[in-house]
Chain A
Amino acid sequence: MIEIKDLHKSYKMGNNSLHVLKGINFKVEEGELVAIMGSSGSGKSTLLNILGMLDELDEGSYTLDGVPIKNLSETKAAQYRNKFLGFIFQSFNLINYKSAAENVALPLYYQKVPRKERQEKAMQYLEKVGLKPWAEHLPNELSGGQKQRVAIARAMAAEPKVLLADEPTGALDSKTSYEVMDLIQKINDEGNTILVVTHEEDIAHMCKRIVHLKDGVIVEDKKVEQVRAEQYV
Chain B
Amino acid sequence: MFNRDNWKEIFDTIQKNKLRTFLSGFTVALGILIFVVLYGFGNGLINTFNEFFEDDATNTFFVFPGRTSMPYKGYKSNRQIEFDNSDLADIEESFPLFLEYVSPRVDRSGMVKYKNESNNYTTRGVSESYQFAEKTIIMKGRYLNQEDIKDKAKYAVIGRLVEKDLFKNESALGKYIDITGSVFKVIGVFQDDAGDDEERRIYIPYTTRQLIEKNTDKINQIVIGFKPEIGYAGAMAFEGQLGKFIREKKYIDPNDQRGFFIRNVADQLKQNQQFAGVLQIIVAFVAFGTIIAGIIGISNIMVFVVKERTKEIGIRKALGATPKAVISTILLESVFITTVSGAVGMIIGVGMLSSLGDTLKDYFITNPFINMGTAIFATIVLILFGGLAGYIPARRAARIKPIVALRDE
**Chain A: residues with CB nearer than 8 A to chain B?**
49, 52, 54-56, 74-75, 78-79, 81-83, 87, 89, 93-95, 97-98, 102, 106-107, 109-111, 114-115, 154, 158
Contact = CB atoms under 8 A, between A and B. Distances in A.
A19 B196 CA distance: 94
B323 A74 contact: yes
Interface of B: 5, 8-9, 12-13, 16-17, 311-312, 314-325, 398-399, 401-403, 406
Contacts of A115: 5, 8
B318 A87 contact: yes
Contacts of B16: 97-98
Contact of A81 (B8, B320, B324, B406): B320
A76 B311 CA distance: 21
15 contacts: A54-B401, A54-B403, A56-B401, A78-B321, A81-B318, A81-B319, A81-B320, A87-B318, A89-B406, A95-B312, A95-B315, A97-B16, A98-B16, A107-B320, A110-B319
Given A98-B16, A109-B5, A115-B5, A74 B320 contact: no
Contacts of A52: 318
Contact of B403 (A49, A74, A111): A49
B interface, over-half SS? helix
9 nearest interchain CB pairs? A82-B320, A110-B320, A97-B16, A54-B403, A78-B322, A107-B319, A55-B403, A54-B402, A75-B322
A169 B85 CA distance: 112
A102 B8 CA distance: 12
Contacts of B17: 97
Given A54-B401, A54-B403, A75-B324, A106 B319 contact: yes
Nearest to B400: A74
Contacts of B401: 54-56
A99 to B, nearest CB: 9
Contact of A75 (B5, B314, B315, B323): B323
A83 B323 contact: no
A74 B322 contact: yes
Contacts of B316: 95, 106, 110
Contacts of B399: 74
Contacts of A78: 317, 320-323, 325
Contacts of A75: 322-324
Contacts of A94: 315
Q: Which of A54, A78, A102, A106 has the most CB of B within 10 A?
A: A78
Contacts of B311: 93
Contacts of A81: 317-320, 402
Contacts of A110: 316, 319-322, 325
Contacts of B321: 78, 110
